[in-house]
Amino acid sequence: MNQRWRLLVLWMLPIGMALLLGWQVLGSNEIRTTNTSSTSVPPANAAVARMSYGRFLDYIEAGRVTSVDIYEGGRNAVVEAIDPELDNRVQRVRVDLPGLAPELINTLKEEGISFDIHPVRTAPPGLGILGNLLFPLLLIGGLILLARRSNSMPGGPGQAMQFGKTKARFAMEAETGVKFDDVAGVNEAKQDLQEVVTFLKQPERFTSVGAQIPKGVLLIGPPGTGKTLLAKAIAGEAGVPFFSLSGSEFVEMFVGVGASRVRDLFKRAKENSPCLIFIDEIDAVGRQRGAGIGGGNDEREQTLNQLLTEMDGFEGNSGIIIIAATNRPDVLDSALMRPGRFDRQVSVDPPDIKGRLSILEVHARNKKISNDLSLENIARRTPGFTGADLANLLNEAAILTARRRKDSISITEIDDAVDRIIAGMEGQPLTDGRSKRLIAYHEVGHALIGTLVKDHDPVQKVTLIPRGQAKGLTWFSPDDEQMLVSRAQLKARIMGALGGRAAEDVVFGRAEVTTGAGGDIQQVAAMAKQMVTRFGMSDLGPLSLEGDSQEVFLGRDLMTRSDISDAIARQIDEQIREMVKICYKETLSIVRKQREALDELVEILVEKETIDGEEFREVLSNYTVIPNKERTIPILN
């Protein structure tokens, strides 16, 4: 309703101004009349003709004028005169007078002509004053309305004085609905953060032995591992005032705004001490100083300087615990990472199989799961999945269950959800033809090498159903958590990736190989390069010939020069090429030996479009001995 009134006033403002101007124009004119006893303005057709002033004087001298009505202060008159050209009939004519001259009045009196002077009707004094004030009042009211409307808009001109205020959300007792029991798969991180909550609730337990409350806790981990969820759990468990904001909310386009917001945040926090401050994505404001190209004295660095001072400066901030989260710890400023500012750095890594199982149990509480569906099997099939990935997996499976009008989630929906998350949406099946058979040979080539090479992960299924950009897929599932990968496993993965190209080469010939192996060859090159340059698994020896695999930070890494000489770089290329050449030669040998099994598996795949791992191994076992995939873990001395 208020919005409608504002729009109405904005529309009425120009209309009122136009009416006011029209009223002032009318008020400045004298009111005309045609009746001696009336002061109304004579109609336009009251006089059918006009008479010049000179002829009017001639008519007066000739005694032909019978009456005169003077209007507009002597500028206009309506005259009744006898016109001899119309058989001496009386005619009303309009005369433009030069003004109310005394000579004209004396002449009319001397000739005995009846005349009347009609005064100008003016508006009442009060109405005139109101008319003069109406325009300024409307103008001022419109400006006030626009200013109030700007104040209500984020970042409007009326909020100029609010730029320096913090945008942190504040709660005396944050009711996030999340407790530590709702967070699973990150037990080590939970233990460290539970101590922070205990510090706030029972500080005497630690101060009695001389321990001090930590000033800051930095949560580090890949996206989706639960850093923000842990912060919500701390807020729900602590029961103390809680401030939450993002690192990007400090920085604005105006100089000094970020530092002012930092000061205001800590001022409010000290007023509510003890309290918690959670800064999500702190790398937005905490990046390394001096890393900007062309100078580093920018707004973000001033904000960081103020944050460093407030966290551990001259005055200190006892009773305030800062919790921050980031997935780019490599770009944070070293002064921000030191003890005294962030005393604890808690790593939140992707969960292992036990962690995945506990996460699945948490997210399966409100979902209908089939009795024959084992969450442990799902946990084994999803290595590398984070907590967010597992939550999305169960949600996608629930959506598929509802779409298929089933009562509970089964293993079929879980398999389809995993395939959709990893590879993309399911496409239309391929029509039977040369392309379908070529893709079948390619995928069976991957699965054949993955099954016959001992150190490769076992095949889960082979399918010709397109997903995403892939026209066919071969799925491998590791049988255990692969924290460490051996040289034999890396070599087996290179051979498995080359299996598709090798099958095309053996069956169709070198001239008929396709671009379908483009992605496989990129993976092969990346793995071979890492074996040579990072892991020391080549004839060059145990040397690390490249930096770490962290993402490039422009200000720090742009001008970093390579420490590898041209000769070493040439040897690296030779080692990579030789390694891939040997693996491809072995892959071709296996495919040629198992050509008969390859053809039968392709016929089955073209007919069924999907073969699971058990059926694939059963068919292949009729032609050759399948190596045992069980691995022994070496004991480290």
pLDDT tens digits, one per residue of 30-50:
333 333 333 444 544 444 577
Cα dihedral sign for 86, 91, 93, 97?
Answer: positive
β-strand partners of 91: 81
Q: How far apart are the C-alpha atoms of 579 and 576, rounded to whole Å?
A: 5
pLDDT value, residue 291: 58
β-strand partners of 65: 81
The answer to whether the beta carbons of residues 257 and 249 sit under 8 Å apart is: no
pLDDT value, residue 151: 52
User: Quick check: is 443 catalytic?
Assistant: yes
Cβ-Cβ contacts under 8 Å for 436 (sequence gap 6 or more): 430, 464, 606
Mean pLDDT of 190-217: 82
Residues 398-413: tens digit of each pLDDT = 999 999 899 999 888 9
Report whether pLDDT(244) > 80.
Answer: yes
Is 164 inside any structural domain? no
Q: Tokens 């590398």 sit at which residue?
A: 384
Could you tell me if 57 and 110 lie in one domain? yes
Q: How far apart are the C-alpha atoms of 216 and 274, rounded to whole Å?
A: 13
Mean pLDDT of 191-196: 83
What percent of the chain clears pLDDT 90, i.e. is strictly above it? 16
Q: Of 423, 445, 478, which residue sits at a domain end? A: 423
pLDDT value, residue 524: 94
Report whether pLDDT(296) > 70.
Answer: no
Q: How far apart are the C-alpha atoms of 67 and 277, rounded to whole Å?
A: 95
Could you tell me if 531 and 579 lie in one domain? yes
Is 282 inside any structural domain? yes
pLDDT value, residue 40: 43
Could you tell me if 456 and 568 lie in one domain? yes
Report whether pLDDT(6) > 80.
Answer: no
Could you tell me if 57 and 186 lie in one domain? no
Q: What is the mean pLDDT of the chain?
A: 78
Mean pLDDT of 389-400: 92
Is 255 inside any structural domain? yes
By CB neighbour count within 10 A (0-12 exposed, 13-18 middle, 19+ buried), where does 228 fall? middle
Is 374 inside any structural domain? yes
pLDDT grade for 502, boundaries at 50, 70 and 90? very high
Mean pLDDT of 464-482: 79
pLDDT value, residue 633: 37
Mean pLDDT of 189-216: 82
Q: How far apart are the C-alpha atoms of 215 and 318, rounded to whole Å?
A: 8
pLDDT value, residue 186: 82
By CB neighbour count within 10 A (0-12 exposed, 13-18 middle, 19+ buried), where does 594 fall? buried
Cα dihedral sign for 209, 210, 213, 217?
Answer: negative
Residues 302-323: tens digit of each pLDDT = 888 888 888 887 776 677 888 8
Mean pLDDT of 455-473: 85
Could you tell me if 488 and 521 lie in one domain? yes
Could you tell me if 581 and 475 lie in one domain? yes
pLDDT value, residue 474: 87
pLDDT value, residue 5: 53
pLDDT value, residue 56: 80
Both tokens assigned to 578: 């030789």
Three-state SS sequence of 215-226: CEEEEECCCCCC
- CA distances 223 to 130, 345, 354, 385, 609, Å, are 67, 16, 20, 11, 35
pLDDT value, residue 41: 45
Could you tell me if 384 and 324 lie in one domain? no
- CA distances 117 to 4, 39, 114, Å, are 52, 10, 10
Task: Indicate the DSSP class of residue 632.
Answer: P
pLDDT value, residue 14: 58
Q: How far apart are the C-alpha atoms of 413 and 395, rounded to whole Å?
A: 10
- Between these two residues, 157 and 376, which has the higher pLDDT value? 376
pLDDT value, residue 523: 92
What percent of the chain clears pLDDT 70, i.e. is strictly above it? 77
Could you tell me if 389 and 319 lie in one domain? no
Mean pLDDT of 457-480: 82
Residues 98-121: tens digit of each pLDDT = 776 777 777 777 777 877 887 766
pLDDT value, residue 635: 34
Mean pLDDT of 504-517: 90
Q: How far apart are the C-alpha atoms of 253 and 256, rounded to whole Å?
A: 9
User: Buried b vs exposed e over 312-346: b needs ≥16 C-beta within 10 Å?
Assistant: beeeebebbbbbbbbbbbbbbbebbeeeebbbbeb
pLDDT value, residue 28: 44
Is 60 inside any structural domain? yes
Q: How far apart are the C-alpha atoms of 128 and 135, rounded to whole Å?
A: 12
pLDDT grade for 525, boundaries at 50, 70 and 90? very high
Is 221 inside any structural domain? yes
- CA distances 189 to 12, 321, 383, Å, are 63, 16, 20
Question: Looking at 22-26, 168-172, 407-411, 602-606, which range is the least confident one?
Answer: 22-26
Both tokens assigned to 23: 């009223």
pLDDT value, residue 393: 92
Report whether pLDDT(586) > 90.
Answer: yes
Could you tell me if 438 and 582 lie in one domain? yes
Is 159 inside any structural domain? no
- Between these two residues, 7 and 262, which has the higher pLDDT value? 262
Question: Looking at 382-396, 551-565, 581-595, which range is the least confident one?
Answer: 551-565
Is 103 inside any structural domain? yes
Could you tell me if 323 and 233 lie in one domain? yes
DSSP secondary structure of 393-441: HHHHHHHHHHHTT-SSB-HHHHHHHHHHHHH-SB-PPPPSSHHHHHHHH
Residues 89-104: tens digit of each pLDDT = 777 888 887 776 777 7
**CA 69 from centre of chain:** 80
**Domain hosting residue 377, numbered range:** 353-423
Could you tell me if 188 and 108 lie in one domain? no
pLDDT value, residue 444: 92
pLDDT value, residue 47: 44
Mean pLDDT of 244-251: 80
Task: Say how many C-beta atoms besides its own lie within 10 A of residue 579's C-beta.
Answer: 22
pLDDT value, residue 257: 76
Q: How many domains are contained in the chain?
A: 5
pLDDT grade for 522, boundaries at 50, 70 and 90? very high
Looking at residue 317, which CATH number applies to its domain? 3.40.50.300
Report whether pLDDT(529) > 90.
Answer: yes
Q: How far apart are the C-alpha atoms of 417 and 397, rounded to whole Å?
A: 5
Q: How far apart are the C-alpha atoms of 493 and 455, rounded to whole Å?
A: 8
pLDDT grade for 547, boundaries at 50, 70 and 90? low
Q: Of 401, 423, 445, which residue sits at a domain end? A: 423
- CA distances 622 to 224, 463, 596, Å, are 45, 21, 11
Looking at residue 508, which CATH number applies to its domain? 1.20.58.760
Report whether pLDDT(155) > 60.
Answer: no
pLDDT value, residue 241: 83
Q: Tokens 């090429």 sit at which residue?
A: 577
Looking at residue 69, which CATH number applies to its domain? 3.30.720.210
Judged by DSSP in three states, 325 sits in: strand
Q: How far apart are the C-alpha atoms of 382 and 585, rounded to whole Å?
A: 32
Looking at residue 363, which CATH number applies to its domain? 1.10.8.60
Q: How far apart are the C-alpha atoms of 325 and 336, rounded to whole Å?
A: 13
Catalytic-role residue among 72, 252, 413, 443? 443
Could you tell me if 399 and 480 lie in one domain? no
Mean pLDDT of 500-515: 91
Closest CA to 391 of 355, 420, 362: 362
